[in-house]
């Protein structure tokens, strides 16, 4: 069974892996580069129970378990590790704020008020390395990666999927999956899909060496201008520390390679980081970047068959939990495509037909 997957982000790469493990032949077409978008520039934070009592609960719990088992089963190291996670607040110029927790690397002005997660419930991966490793593992099981852009779906007489047209010829297919993150909205010209948008976020990667232990922070912060933001800080196993904050609704560029930070956003984020931690204040910055998370109007991912077009599927709209939920999405959708139904997670809450 030839399945063309459009997009090599975390979702496309995980789907390719689970399809290949089930004996299908995935052909992943990627316009810009594996993990070039949010899947390479996001936090990579994982939580077991933060989606509990929402429609995402089963997907997130299954995914959290899969992240642990994949890290053990596959040979490559993508920085998977457990973390302790804290919440707090602070503001520019604040000194000696009181909090229940004290961490040596966090500035005095930041009050750490709660422990949000322990090493039983929170973890992380380096998202770009995770995505690349899943793509390599898929290739080792027979998947193929092609660096081309998907441009159209070719239908047979019955209206079902027959092939995918790319910038470099047509690929015949028994099934096609749209996994193009916020660019999935361009597939609405080829298929009857609900709208998918992109919300921009900015991030910095610092070279912090071994000075910050595996402690993640979620902070509510007030800048000197009065603007409020919610920086998230994730020290990584490779000696870097990732910090993201400052969302915007700037339009998604047509070409994923052209995503760039908004004017002024990086300077604001650098100032926030200097105030958050003396270690960050004196560490070299390795990357200043932005990316878009894919969002849907109803706030849930779209996972499953596209109504009215036999052989067409979609897997996108994972918003802030795309790295967490990519493995269980890939696993369950591979079951639907190859076996006709998902056995591991009920995908009904995410069925595209519900949102027509």
Nearer Cβ to ligand FAD (109/144):
144
Residue in 283, 148, 107, 142 with CA at minimum distance from that of residue 207: 283
Measure the CA–CA gap between 306 and 311, rounded to whole angstroms.
Answer: 8
Could you tell me if 38 and 322 are in contact, meaning their C-beta atoms sit under 8 angstroms apart? yes
Residue 181 binds ligand FAD (CB under 6 A): yes
Nearer Cβ to ligand FAD (32/281):
32
Q: How far is the CB of 147 from ligand FAD (least distance, A)?
A: 9
CA angle, residues 109, 115, 121, in degrees to nearest 5 = 140
- Residue owning tokens 């690349």: 132
Measure the CA–CA gap between 245 and 218, rounded to whole angstroms.
Answer: 10
Measure the CA–CA gap between 73 and 160, rounded to whole angstroms.
Answer: 37
Residue 130 binds ligand FAD (CB under 6 A): no
Residue 149 binds ligand FAD (CB under 6 A): yes
Residue 63 binds ligand FAD (CB under 6 A): no
> Who's near 13: CB < 8 A, 6+ residues apart?
28, 34, 35, 39, 131, 132, 134, 135, 138, 326, 330
Q: Among 48, 123, 171, 324, which residue interacts with ligand FAD (rule: CB under 6 A)?
A: 324
Q: How far is the CB of 244 from ligand FAD (least distance, A)?
A: 4
Measure the CA–CA gap between 86 and 146, rounded to whole angstroms.
Answer: 41
Q: CA end-to-end span of the chain, whole Å? A: 28
Residue in 15, 18, 69 with CA at minimum distance from that of residue 46: 69
Copy the structure tokens of residue 147. 């660096």
Q: Among 4, 24, 31, 272, which residue interacts with ligand FAD (rule: CB under 6 A)?
A: 31
What is 48-94 written as a DSSP string? SSTTTTSTTHHHHHHHHHHHHHHHHHSS-----EE-EEEEEEEETT-
Nearer Cβ to ligand FAD (323/334):
323
Nearer Cβ to ligand FAD (99/201):
201
Could you tell me if 223 and 234 are in contact, meaning their C-beta atoms sit under 8 angstroms apart? no
Residue 30 binds ligand FAD (CB under 6 A): yes
Residue 85 binds ligand FAD (CB under 6 A): no
Could you tell me if 9 and 131 are in contact, meaning their C-beta atoms sit under 8 angstroms apart? yes
Q: Among 3, 4, 8, 279, which residue interacts with ligand FAD (rule: CB under 6 A)?
A: 8
Q: Among 67, 126, 236, 293, which residue interacts with ligand FAD (rule: CB under 6 A)?
A: 293
Q: How far is the CB of 200 from ligand FAD (least distance, A)?
A: 7
Residue 135 binds ligand FAD (CB under 6 A): no
Residue 176 binds ligand FAD (CB under 6 A): no
Residue 203 binds ligand FAD (CB under 6 A): yes
Residue 38 binds ligand FAD (CB under 6 A): yes
Q: How far is the CB of 233 from ligand FAD (least distance, A)?
A: 11
Nearer Cβ to ligand FAD (65/102):
65
**Torsion, Cα of 72, 73, 77, 83 (10° steps):** -30
- Residue owning tokens 């993990």: 35
Measure the CA–CA gap between 40 and 341, rounded to whole angstroms.
Answer: 30
Residue 327 binds ligand FAD (CB under 6 A): no
Residue 179 binds ligand FAD (CB under 6 A): yes
Taking CB under 6 A as the binding criterion, the range among 262-270, 305-313, 318-326, 336-344 that sits at the site for ligand FAD is 318-326
Nearer Cβ to ligand FAD (38/138):
38
User: What residues between 9 and 28 interact with ligand FAD by CB under 6 A?
Assistant: 9-12
Residue facing ligand FAD at closest CB distance? 322
Contact residues toward ligand FAD (CB under 6 A) are 6-12, 29-32, 36-39, 42-45, 149-150, 179-181, 183, 201, 203, 244, 256, 291, 293-294, 316, 318-324
């Amino acid at each position: 069974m030839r399945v063309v997957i459009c997009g090599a982000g975390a979702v496309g790469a995980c789907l390719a892996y689970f399809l290949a493990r089930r004996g299908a032949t995935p052909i992943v077409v990627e316009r810009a580069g594996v993990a070039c978008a949010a899947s390479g520039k996001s936090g990579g934070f994982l939580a077991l129970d933060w989606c509990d009592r929402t429609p995402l609960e089963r997907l997130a719990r299954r995914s959290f378990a899969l992240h642990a088992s994949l890290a053990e089963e596959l040979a490559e190291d993508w920085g998977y590790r457990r973390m302790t996670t804290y919440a707090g607040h602070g503001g520019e110029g604040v000194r000696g704020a009181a909090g229940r927790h004290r961490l040596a690397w966090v500035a005095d002005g930041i009050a750490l008020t709660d422990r949000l997660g322990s090493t039983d419930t929170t973890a992380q991966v380096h998202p770009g390395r995770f995505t690349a490793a899943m793509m390599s593992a898929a290739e080792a099981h027979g998947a193929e990666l092609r660096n081309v852009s998907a441009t159209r779906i070719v239908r047979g007489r019955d209206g079902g999927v027959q092939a995918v047209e790319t910038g470099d010829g047509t690929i015949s297919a028994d099934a096609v999956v749209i996994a193009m993150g916020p660019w999935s909205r361009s597939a609405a010209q080829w298929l009857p899909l609900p709208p998918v948008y992109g919300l921009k976020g900015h991030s910095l990667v610092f070279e912090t060496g071994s000075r910050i232990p595996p402690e993640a922070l979620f902070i509510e912060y007030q800048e000197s201008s009065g603007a409020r933001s919610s920086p998230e800080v994730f020290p990584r196993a490779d000696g870097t520390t990732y910090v993201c904050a400052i969302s915007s609704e700037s339009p998604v560029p047509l070409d994923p390679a052209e995503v760039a930070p908004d004017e002024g956003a990086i300077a604001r984020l650098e100032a926030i980081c200097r105030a958050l931690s003396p270690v960050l204040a004196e560490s070299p910055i390795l990357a200043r970047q932005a990316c878009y998370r894919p969002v849907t109007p109803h706030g849930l991912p779209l996972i499953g068959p596209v109504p009215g077009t036999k052989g067409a599927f979609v897997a996108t709209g994972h918003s802030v939990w795309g790295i967490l939920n990519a493995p269980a999405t890939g696993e369950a959708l591979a079951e639907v495509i190859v076996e006709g139904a998902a056995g591991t997670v009920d995908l009904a809450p995410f069925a595209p037909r519900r949102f027509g």
